[in-house]
Amino acid sequence: MSENLAAGARIVKSAGLSGLSGFEVLVETSIANGLPVFLIVGLPDSAVREARDRVRAVVRNLGFDFPMKRILVNLAPADTRKEGPLYDLPIALGLLVASGQLGAVPDDTIFAGELSLDGGLRPVAGVLPMALSVRDAGARHMFVPADNASEAALADGLNVYPARHISEIIEHLRGGAGIAPAGVYAAPADLERYPDFADVRGQETTRRAIEVAVSGAHNILLSGTAGGGKSMMAKRVPSILPPMDRDEMIESTAIHSIAGMTERGSPLLLRRPFRSPHHTVSSSGMAGGGRLPKPGEMSLAHNGVLFLDEFPEFHRDVLECMRQPMEDGQVTITRANGSFTYPSRFMLVCAMNPCKCGWHGHHSGRCACSEESVRRYLGRISGPILDRIDIFAAVPPVEYDELSGGRAGEPSADIRRRVAAARKRQAARQGAPNAQLTNAQLREFCPIGGDGEKLMKAAYEKLDLSARAYSRILKVARSIADLSSSDRIECEHLAEAIQYRNMCVKEL
């Protein structure tokens, strides 16, 4: 014991998070003579400060001696905020080491976990991004609560040891019964668990518009009367997106991990996320918020679909805060203690009613809105966001024959195959989906013939298009051409693309 005390502070390693990137935290414990105090310093938040009382109880309850001395726990680096109860475990171990009740722990080993008062380990949030970061920083082993193990094990090359109780870890460190490292998580093969487009009857034109949008990663706005199936189709958009590769899955899972939204049994996010925040969502709910900001809806939808139903009802400031992230593919939130960046590359799908009551243009004539009120309703939509939407699709009411007819819609798997082929052409040509074509690339890859020029000129003048709308039409036409495996943009492709713009000019 005296030997340990002579060495001064004892170090147990843990991890912390700043945005999506983690860092190593050194938990230093020093036990000195003096009035008995137990202090935790190093910018702990209140959950960390409460570790004091949990650790005190746990150490005693396990039958160890809790020294009545001056105990100082420092969480280094001292200038970064530490949040959450995950330091319970390393603080308890550090105390045992510093008081000579446990040998020194190896310094390539990371500990994280919340303690219950009897020494049981509870799961904590953000384990995956931490595991990835400490692995890259050179750590080789990580002890985590059993419920977090499969998530942490997604970090290849890191030995993850799941534990249900702190005594298992103490036993392991003492060289007794060892904990078996968690195996690599094997993803189940059945990815076909999205709602399927086969459930959607009729709506051929809307289905086509969605297919074009997905194949070029264009943002899309669906407008139509209530009950036409806007939400139903939006929910099925992820089913025709190409499946995520492993890096994308890990990235999305890490974001969900920070938000504490991973599933314990199957931590890896296999399916593209589909987020549909309610229109009352706040801007910090959308972008991410909190004193140490958690990812918001835009980041949770990363690699997937962000669906905004009742689009005009969203608060203006919420839509405004989406502009930059949609442009950059990432959200940066600045707080007094630093700025935090989360990725946010998503496909935006919006749905709206044509007017306040939702029946404008319906053949039943149920709409009671005045022209003025319709205009006001449409005027609510934020212009800058509208600028980032390439395709506007009207969703007509479903005819009775289509609904009752026995013919099911085309299944998602078939559509996905066409989308994948179109995306492959785009990747081979410019390495990015068409929605991200630069102006220079537009000139290079989207030449239109003489007939096409004539068509565009007519549309430009007749529909009063802007220069921006012009390039958007070209991008959409490029996607349509890609869908029909055509290297050239033909007149029919252009005509279809103009039509997706046309509706917008008429109504907005």
Q: How far is the CB of 68 from another protein (least distance, A)?
A: 5
Nearest CB to another protein, comparing residues 71 and 422: 71
Cβ proximity to another protein: between 1 and 467 the closer is 1
Q: Are 58 and 101 in contact (CB under 8 A)?
A: no
63-84 per-residue burial string, b: 16 or more CB within 10 A, e: under 16: ebebbebebbbbbbeeebbbbb
**Is the distance from CB of 159 to CB of 181 less than 8 angstroms?**
yes
Strands 70-76 and 330-335 come out as unpaired
Q: Which is nearer to another protein, 38 or 143 (CB)?
A: 38
Options 28-36, 106-114, 229-237, 481-489: segment touching another protein (CB under 8 A) = 28-36
3-state secondary structure at position 464: coil
Please say which residue, 70 or 429, places its beta carbon nearer to another protein: 70
Cβ proximity to another protein: between 68 and 408 the closer is 68
Which DSSP state fits 410? P
In this complex, which beta carbon is closest to another protein, that of residue 34 or of residue 188?
A: 34
Q: How far is the CB of 3 from another protein (least distance, A)?
A: 17
CB of 6 to another protein, least distance (A): 14
Minimum distance from CB of 73 to another protein (Å)?
A: 12
Residue 51 C-beta: closest distance to another protein, Å: 14
Q: Which is nearer to another protein, 40 or 154 (CB)?
A: 40
CB of 75 to another protein, least distance (A): 17
**Class of residue 143 by CB neighbours under 10 A (exposed 0-12, middle 13-18, buried 19+):** buried
Site size for another protein, by CB under 8 A? 9
Q: Give one DSSP letter per residue of 135-178, joined into a string.
A: HHTT--EEEEEHHHHHHHTTSTT-EEEEESBHHHHHHHHTTSSP
Task: Count the neighbouring beta carbons within 10 Å of the beta carbon of residue 181.
Answer: 15
Token pair in block for residue 306? 């962000």
Q: Does 8 bind another protein (CB under 8 A)?
A: no
Integer angstrom CA distances of residue 436 from 208, 320, 362, 441, 497? 21, 20, 36, 10, 16
Strand partners, 38: 71
Query: In the range 30-89, which residues lie near another protein by CB under 8 A?
Result: 33-39, 68-69
CB of 39 to another protein, least distance (A): 6
Contact 139, 14 (CB under 8 A): no
Residues 6+ apart with CB under 8 A from 136: none
Tokens matching residue 199 = 């459930």
Are 230 and 309 in contact, with CB atoms under 8 Å apart? yes
Name the minimum Å distance from CB 69 to another protein.
7
Question: Contacts with another protein in 467-496 (CB under 8 A)?
Answer: none
Give the Cα separation of 505 and 221 in Å (integer): 13
Distance separating alpha carbons of residues 74 and 472, to the nearest angstrom:
56
**Please, which residue, 67 or 123, has the CB nearer to another protein?**
67
- Residue 35 or 180 with smaller CB distance to another protein: 35
Binding site for another protein (CB under 8 A): 33-39, 68-69
